[in-house]
Structure 1
Amino acid sequence: MNKWTTIATSLLLAGGAAIGVAGATDNGKVSVDESAVVLNTQTAQPAQTENENSPANDETITKEEAIAIAQQVLPGKVKEIEQDSDDGHRYYEIELKYEGKDYDFDIDAATGEVLNIDGNLLRTPLADKMEITAEQAKQAVLDEVGEGRIKEIELEKNRGTYMYEIEVKVHGDDDDWYVDANTGEVLASGNDKRGAEAQSQRTQQADSAERLSVKEAKNIALAHVGQGRVDDADLDRENGRLVYEIEIEQSGGDDVELIIDALTGEILHVDWD
């Protein structure tokens, strides 16, 4: 290979730095058409890493932080902890033993808020911190139902609110009522017709907008599910919104729980067990 051919070849092989058109002359030499030469002046850019292209993960508190939050509420011993999620909302489940009794905590994995505490908190110092006493809660329920007998009362935390769960026997039937432990607001379960009607009158006075009846909420739930029997219908307040919690038992034995806006009838959440 003569030296002109070698030079031309070197131009073509120089890492893509130059691309040209080469042709042989009559005397055997190779000429390069400089007008066709393109120089690659761009500097190679480093490839982006996967982390740079991916969105940042949601912040999550650690297990140790979740445990510390639970133990600030009750200074007990942690038996078990795991992380779970509901419709993409992550939370920690912590089983804690305090003075020989077990309490189950649900703690928001993003905010650290204590969402639920399952277990009778009347046995703990938390009972003394409530604005409404257990006796006041009992009397409030008896005032609502007109007559009845209190069988059992517990203090728990449900959806971020401390409340008394009170089992009362009315006309031979057992019914569960709930009383906000800090405001004294009474929430009927809806199983007892007279109690639900009394709750309806009280709530309509408290809310400027007219709300749905228990029957209307049940019909909405049944229409959405398609078939089944209403097993329970509770009137509750969730994040400042008045809602019905409707539980439907299906023929196959499965339960469906629906959360329905008590003012608009909008179905806010459906939990298929």
Structure 2
Amino acid sequence: MVGCGGRMRSTEMTKTTTALFVGAAVILAAPAMAQSAVQAAQPRIVSLSQAVATAETELGARAFDAELDRSGGQLVYEVDLVKAGRPIEAHIDATTGRLIRHTTPTRLRIPFANQDAKAAQGAPRSLSETIELIERSTHGRVTEIGLERAGGRHYYDVELAGAADRDVRVDLMTGAITPVIDD
């Protein structure tokens, strides 16, 4: 390794330098490789918009509330809908996007009233269209959305991921998006 005059031979030096660079590259790439392995192990899920569209289409109803949840160890989207003034609760498999089951509860969740059910049915856009509008406008991803009423108007209360504003309100009739200012 050491030649005349205590100097490292050129080929030995090149091999050592190359080994150092390769070692450094492996060390620097390890976190990214580990993250890729973790992401590969996690199931891919369909978008909230896709899940809501499936529920609306398959049940012929209008959705007004949706969120990702776990049911029996399985990732599901819980979607609340209304059809002919009657509530429907649907579970959509978050990994396949298929309708798992639906039920017709005898009562809507409090404080959801009959006038709110009518508002949801008469909305100018479906919930899936509203979610797409929000995601295009905010460059975020809707993680939860629910119909609320305040000041005589209906709006969607929306939680976002990956957007500058994490919570917004969307007017049911106009589609106007307003950031929610934290208290």
Classify the TM-score, shorter chain: 0.3 to 0.5
Which of 1 and 2 has higher RCO (CA within 8 Å, sep 6+)? 2
TM-score scaled to structure 1, two decimals?
0.30
Flag the structure with larger Rg: 1
